[in-house]
Amino acid sequence: DQQVKQNSPSLSVQEGRISILNCDYTNSMFDYFLWYKKYPAEGPTFLISISSIKDKNEDGRFTVFLNKSAKHLSLHIVPSQPGDSAVYFCAASGQNYGQNFVFGPGTRLSVLP
Amino acid sequence: DADVTQTPRNRITKTGKRIMLECSQTKGHDRMYWYRQDPGLGLRLIYYSFDVKDINKGEISDGYSVSRQAQAKFSLSLESAIPNQTALYFCATSDLKGLQETQYFGPGTRLLVL
């Protein structure tokens, strides 16, 4: 059973609009969450992270929100740009995993010009 | 130059063959990882190493082995390749700051086992 879920395999958004990517997790011991972005033929690259002591972290156009009670996090991209088109992976880690990461299956975002 | 490199980038092999995937890093990180990516499953951890000579099994280590004989190099071997090992393989290094870790990935090796 997947401990980190991204239930939308794909998402299409118009350029300039907001993109919202969602991630749910089942293990309450996770205390650190990250988003990675992956272009074709490249490895994933780190985008933004959030610790469980926070409920929001912002970096430029990217904001991650964490709702611990719902075991849910989301990545907001505002405004979306065509260069944001990629696969986005959510990842979680916690002390019980020796800080190893558990990755979700990914969401493919397409930003339409 | 890339901080994390993987060779080869693409490989086709036959069932039963032994193959090795290489990973090198110039980031000076102690921690290194091998993952595989399959459609719909995200990235799954095969093996990881926190230092030279330190080897730990991940979620899906069966059928794989690794070697970490230098800080900068971490190799993954398939002793006897089988078709369900066809996947995209990623090496990663990590930087641990306090309790928060960020991983940096190589470009990947696409492996096809016939």
Condensed to tens digits (0 to 9), the pLDDT of residues A42-67 reads 999 999 999 999 999 999 999 999 99
Nearest Cβ partner of B42 from A41, A89, A95?
A: A89
Angle made by CA atoms A39, B3, A58, in degrees to the nearest 5: 55
Point out which residues pair with A73 in neighbouring strands.
A23, A66
Query: How big is chain B, counted in residues?
Result: 114
pLDDT score for A96: 56
Locate A54 and state its tokens. Answer: 């926070």
Shortest distance between the Cα of A16 and any Cα of chain B, in A, equals 28
First to last CA, chain A: 37
How far apart CA B56 and CA A47 sit, in angstroms, is: 27
Q: Report the mean per-residue pLDDT for chain A.
A: 93
Cβ–Cβ < 8 Å for A42, B108: yes
Q: Minimal CA–CA distance to B5: which of B114, B81, B106?
A: B106
Residues in chain B closer than 8 A to A44 (CB atoms) = 43, 90, 105
How far apart CA B101 and CA A50 sit, in angstroms, is: 11
pLDDT score for A95: 65
Cβ–Cβ < 8 Å for A49, A35: yes
Q: Is the pLDDT of residue B41 over 60?
A: yes
